[in-house]
Amino acid sequence: MSEAPALHSRRPLTLRFDIPISRTHEFWDSLRAGRFVTTKCSKCGNVSFPPQSDCSKCMGSEFHWVDLGQDATLVTYTQVMTVPASFSAEGSYTVAIAEFRGGVKVLAWLEGVRAEDATSGMKLKVEARTRSDGSPYYVFVPA
């Protein structure tokens, strides 16, 4: 079957966003220093992840940074086989949601264990990583 006639658009659109992190850049700065931190509301004590400068519980805007430590427990996971266009260079990767003490949950790649071999309740550690362009990110690895 031949393709239907189409007007192949000649005006490609590339979007690259400059996402402001002025209020939460300490998360990324700490990560570079090997610490995994997030925000805690100074008024009601709500700990948020992702970090946020305004509290979604009490709407207060005073906060401080707390260290979440390294230890987390695996909650659920998958292995992404069909990847998005912008991840085509990565091949396949395992993604996990893990819970830190106190109940904060975080989504990140899980390295060193295939999804089929993972089990919920597994003990994990969060580790900082750096991409080739110097940008920081974090992953889970088996403890």
Partner 1 sequence: MTRVAVVGIGHSRFGRRTDVNIGELAFESIKQAIDDAGVERRDIGNVVVGSAGGWYEESLPAVVVGEYAGLSGAGTMRVEAACASGSAAVKAAYNSILSGETEVAMAVGVEKMTEVDSPTSVELIGRAGSYTWEFENYGMTFPAYYALYAVAHMNQFGTTQEDLARVSVKAHRYGASNPLAHFQKEITLEKAMGSQMVAWPLKLYDACPLSDGSATVVLASEEAAKKLTDTPVWIRGVGYSSDTANLSRRGNYVGLRAAVEAAARAYAMAKVSPKDIDVATAHDCFTIAELMAYEDLGFCKKGEGAKMIREGETELGGRIPVNLDGGLKAKGHPIGATGVSMAVEITKQLRGEAGRHQAQIKKGLGLTHNIGGTGHYAYVTVYSRD
Q: Does 66 sit near partner 1 (CB under 8 A)?
A: no
Return the number of the residue (61 or 76) whose C-beta is nearest partner 1.
Answer: 76
Told to check if 109 binds partner 1 by CB under 8 A, we report: yes
Question: Does 75 participate in binding partner 1 (rule CB under 8 A)?
Answer: yes
Would you put residue 129 in left (φ > 0), alpha (ψ -120 to 50) or beta? Answer: beta
Nearest distance from C-beta of residue 6 to partner 1, angstroms: 7
**Residues 101, 84: Cα–Cα separation, whole Å:** 32
CA distances from 55 to 39, 60, 75, 97, 102 (A): 9, 5, 25, 22, 17
Q: Which stretch binds partner 1 (CB under 8 A): 1-9, 39-47, 61-69?
A: 1-9
Within 10 Å of residue 126's Cβ, how many Cβ atoms? 19
Task: By CB under 8 A, tell whether 132 contacts partner 1.
Answer: no
Residues of this chain, 9-48, that bind partner 1 according to CB under 8 A: 9, 19
d(CA 116, CA 105): 21
Q: What is the DSSP letter of 4?
A: P
Under rule CB under 8 A, residue 107 binds partner 1: yes
Catalog residues that contact partner 1 under the rule CB under 8 A: 3-4, 6, 9, 19, 49-50, 75-88, 90, 93, 95, 97, 105-109, 115-116, 120, 137
